[in-house]
Structures are given as C-alpha cells and as structure tokens.
Chain A
Amino acid sequence: MTENVVEIRDLRVNFSTYEGIMKVLDGVNLSIKKGEMLGLVGETGCGKTMTGRAIMRILPSNAQIMSGGKILFEGSTNLLNLSEEEMRKIRGKKISLIFQEPRRALHPTLNVGDQIAEIFSLHMKEDVLKTALQNLAESENSTSLLSNIMRKNYTEELEGKEPLLKRLLGKIPLLRTKINEPAEKVLDEKSIDMLEKVQIPDPKRVSDQYPHELSGGMMQRVLISMALACNPALLIADEPTTAVDVTTQVKLLDLIMDLKKTYGASILLITHNLAVVAETCDRVSVMYAGTIVEQADTYSVFKEPLHPYTQGLLAAIPIIGQTRELKSIPGSVPNFLNPPSGCRFHPRCGYANEKCIEEKPLFREVRDEHYVACHVVE
C-alpha cells in the first residue's frame, strides 16, 4: 500500500462572522497518496478552497481551526500543532499552492524573475550560496580582491553568521549590487530555468517582464513554476484552470500532468469541473457543505457513484448527443449559519429517512477503497 502524503482526519473550521458562527468545514476526511492526483469536487461555496487553505494554514483571520482534527503530513507531522515559524518552512517548500486567479496572485510591481527568485532565497539559500561559491571558484579572476571578499561573505553566510563586510559594504549603493552579483546571477539562472520547465517561450525575456505584460495562461504558468520551485511533496492546485480559456486549460492540465510525472509530487486538484477530474485524476473526493461525502478512485466514482449527492451531480452533466432530460438536484446549498441537522444533505436527498435527520453519518469504507458518508448506502 502506498503511503499517504497528507491525511486529514475530522478537520473542522469555524468562521466567526457578524451573524454568528459558520461551520464551514464540518469534519473533513481526506487522504492523498504519494504521487497521485486527487480531485476535490463540489459546488461553489462547499469548502473546497478552505480545505486547501487549511492544509497550508493560511485561512482568513476570522477563521478558527477547531481542536480534535488532524492534518498528518508525510505520516507523522501534524500540521495543526506546528508553530507559525515551522509552518513557514513548509509553505512553499514542501506544500505549495497554485491560486485561482493568476492575475491577482502575482505581485504587480516586481518582475517575474524576482518573484520566482524570492522563493529560492527563502527556502534554498544554502544551495544558492554554494552554487555562487562554486561559480566564483571557477571564474577567471577568482583571485581578485572582490571575489575574495565575496567568497568570504558567502562562506560566512553559509555558516549562519551575518558577515560584517557585507553589512558594511551593503550600505553603499553601487557596491551593494556588485557584492551580491554572484548570488543574484544564480537566482536569475534558477528562475529562468524554472520558467523553461513550464514551457514558457523565451524565458529570459519573460523573467524581466512584469505580470501585467503577460497573458492569463502565461501568468498561470509562472504561478505553477513558482509552486514547483522547491520540488514540493504536495501541490494544491486551487481551480488552476478557471481563469483561462478552454484551449489554455487543456495545455495547463497537460503541463501539470507532465510535471507530476517528472517531479513525482502529489497533487490536490480543487475544481468543480467533473470532466477535468475524469480526465486527469487518480482518485476523487466529493465534497458537500463542508464534509466529504464520497472518496474513491475516479473509475468507480463515475461508474458506480454511491452517495446520492454524487449520483445527482453526475446526472446533472449534459452529454452531447444524448437527448435525455437533464436532472438537477432540488434545493440549494444549505446555510452554514444553521446547517441541517444530521446529514447535511438530507433536505435535498430523495432517499432520506429519520436516521438521516437525527444522526450525522460516519465516513466509512463501503466497498474496497471506496468511502462514503451516508446511512442509506449499504
């Protein structure tokens, strides 16, 4: 059996709002295996994005993760117990996030290369310094005074000290850029390399451009390259294809699939597009009103959906060439302020009985590797 990269157990998140407490995530259970792509689907506002954010612990300030839940990362570390400092070392390095709207997720006044370089200097400073040192040793005038100073600075920095010379010379405007040149060059090369990996044409030119000069698809590629910069174990892609047109969507998905193969990262794909899920994902989790209602491999979910909500979702997909009537799920997404008792789906469910109204169904394994939270399913 493959190991789980992330295992979420009974995750609950409450939002305190003006009108009262909203239980946005109400016991989410989710596991992502190593190297797999898990699709997280559900209606707008059912908590998909919040699940992704909760894993990275970058929820809005009025959100609170309730105790009792667990997010196990790589088997042992509970992300909910880590300090902010420790969490910061994981964000961007081991778990990274691709945002929904690339246009707004890029810093408008920094050029693309600098933004990618920032991640390297945050998480891979040692690597950068080592490469810079190596480059210095190999360069022609490696014995000159300047490169000696730089070498000394970098060695000291590697040892964790703040070099005095750098502090002093760093105050002088022209020297400041000069003294950092080798490290900057390494950062530049690394970011250009990253841009090349996400198949951006002419990466050298693009790395000098500002986000507003790029198209939506290009920006999304830049974001993907930023997310993959440190070779993360888990990549959370939060509707990466919603802001771009259909042809670009296909290209981006192909790119993500390719990168998954080369990097071996696990991917949590958050989307409401079932076609995308069917096309790309190994397994699917279906979410409804803050809970996971079904989790299984993609084939069984589409072939034999067990939860009434999943069945409803699949029946609502129009199929070209078929003349059957489209079915919609009656009712609408419940209010999070006072959600329905018991199973949150019961007011809209055709099979609901008294037990559904009274008791919240457990998330249990019904078939082999097929989990469902429903009283009716046998």
Chain B
Amino acid sequence: MEPRIKELKFNLYRIRNNPLSLLGIGLILLNILLAIFSPFIAEPNTPDPYKIPKFFSTEPLPPNSEHPFGTSGPSGYYDIFYGVVWGARMSLRISFTVIFAAIIIGVFVGTAAGMFGGMIDEVIMRITDVFMALPGLVLAMAVASVLGRNITNLMLALIITWWPGFARVIRGEVLKTKQETYVEAARAVGAGPLTIVFRHILPNAIFPIIIMSSMNLGSIVMAASTLSFLGLGAEPGTAEWGAIISEGRNWMLQGAWWTTFFPGVAIFTYVLGWNLLGDAFRDILDPKLRRSMM
C-alpha cells in the first residue's frame, strides 16, 4: 500500500506544479458543480428543465440584476443565465453519452477486427474508411438532418461520427499487443481466447483511448454546438450553448453582445478545460513523460 500512496503524492505534486493542469481541473470542476447544482442556481418552472422558461418582451435585455447574463430571442424571450447553467448539464450529458457509446462500439468493433484479422478485419476497416472519408461535421450534419431535430438524434449523429476513430486506434493497439510474447505465453499456459482478450490484450491496449477520450470530450461539445448553431441539433429555446448562440446571432450586429458572448465563453471554457485535463492525464499516466520533468 505504501508505494501507492507515494505514487499518489507524486501525481498530486505533478499536478500542483503545473498551473495549466490546475486550470483545466478548475474549469471542469466548475462545470460539474454547475451541472450538479443547476436546479438550485437556476430554478426550472417547466416540466422539461432543458426548455428555457420564456417571458414576454420585445427585444433582448442587457445584463441586469434580474437577468445577470441578459436575455435573448427571438423564439420567445428568455434568460441567458438559465440557458448557460443548464447548458453545462446538457454539455456533460451529451459529451459523456457520446464518448461512452463511441468507446463501447469502437472498442468492441476494433478488438474484433484486430483479433480475428483476415476477412473480418478487412470488412470492418473498410466500413470505418467509409465513415472517415467524410469530414466528421459533414457526416454528423447529414445524419442529424435525416433523423430530425432533437437532442437524442444529435447524440446519435455524433456517436456515428465518433466511433470509427476509436475502432481504428484500438485495432492498431490490439494488433501490436497480440504480437507480444506475454500474450503468447498466456496461450502457452492454456488460457482461453476470452481470457487472453480481456485480461492480457485489452488492459495493455486501452491506454491511448483514455487520453483520446478526455481530449474528445471537449470537441464533442464543440461539434454539438456547431450542429445546433446550424439548426440541426437542439431545437431553439433549448438550454444548449450552440442553440443559444444560434438565436443570438440575429441580435449580434445590433449591439446585443451578451446574446453570443456568455454561451460562447461557456463553450470556450468547457473545451479548454477538457484539453488541459487531457494533458494533465498524460503527464500522470505516461511513464516516459512523468519522471522526466522532476
């Protein structure tokens, strides 16, 4: 137990001494706290809390005591603060759902391709080629516009765009790990194929996925916001940062800067936070890097 505590201390030391990692952790923590306490920070008064409550107005109001981030329209005037707070919850929901689904599909398909090889590998990899031949956003747009406009479909579209990347990476790692002598040694002691995959290959192949997913958590929200901004994701009036910006676009040139500024800052901090956290993870997990900067 003692060396583990020592390792933990060392990891904490590494994080403490890297201001960027600290910033990343701070931003993500802030976001998570917002998401957890959103019902208390901005009380919902409709059955669906992700729908921003509306009130009567003729034009967006600048930030004031009642609406700290101002209001926006035009599909019924609403409080931006409420949208940003609940948008934090929405972003976490979207990014984690998409990343988990994509990892599960990607790891399953990629491992199958790497382990079976031959024809199965060829077919699976050509399918991922088809997905990757299209730019991610274009593919997601196509899928989202076919499926229709709501949050579930938005997530579905993103999952479809995201899994091939994971499948590729895991396939490569599986192919590499499969060649290792310790895997052969496991075969030589009579381990079955499932034991070999789950105990010997996957634990040694999964590492890049961890880094990749923390980096991607940010970009998924970027993509989701982009789709919403283009009118293919969340419906107008939903607490989704991209959707709020999309609505605020009409008022931007008329001097209502708050309609796009606050949700924009929210997206910015979220993406930045995950990227910095991804770096921090790498610092901790990568044995080659972690000792080099002592």
Interface residues of chain A, those whose CB is within 8 Å of chain B, are: 56, 58, 61, 88-93, 96-97, 99-101, 104-110, 118-119, 122-123, 223, 226
Contact = CB atoms under 8 A, between A and B. Distances in A.
Contacts of A61: 117
A15 to B, nearest CB: 16
A88 to B, nearest CB: 5
At the interface, is chain B mostly helix, strand, loop or mixed? helix
B216 to A, nearest CB: 24
B189 A104 contact: no
Given A109-B204, A118-B186, A122-B189, 8 more contacts: A56-B188, A92-B190, A93-B190, A97-B188, A101-B181, A104-B182, A118-B191, A123-B190
B117 A91 contact: no
A105 B182 contact: yes
Contacts of A119: 189-190
A29 B191 CA distance: 29
15 contacts: A56-B188, A88-B192, A91-B189, A92-B191, A93-B190, A96-B189, A97-B185, A101-B181, A105-B185, A107-B182, A107-B185, A107-B186, A108-B204, A223-B185, A226-B185
Contacts of A96: 188-189
Interface in B144-180: 180
Question: Which range holds the interface residue count of chain B?
Answer: 10 to 19
B47 interface: no
A7 B108 CA distance: 42
B200 interface: yes
A56 B192 CA distance: 14
Contacts of A90: 190
A47 B252 CA distance: 76
A97 B191 CA distance: 13
B185 A122 contact: no
Nearest to A103: B181
B184 A58 contact: yes
B93 interface: no
B191 A105 contact: no
A226 B189 contact: yes
Interface string B108-132: 0000000001000000000000000
A218 to B, nearest CB: 16
Given A107-B200, A109-B204, A91 B187 contact: yes
Interface string B88-120: 000000000000000000000000000001000
B203 interface: yes
A90 B191 CA distance: 11
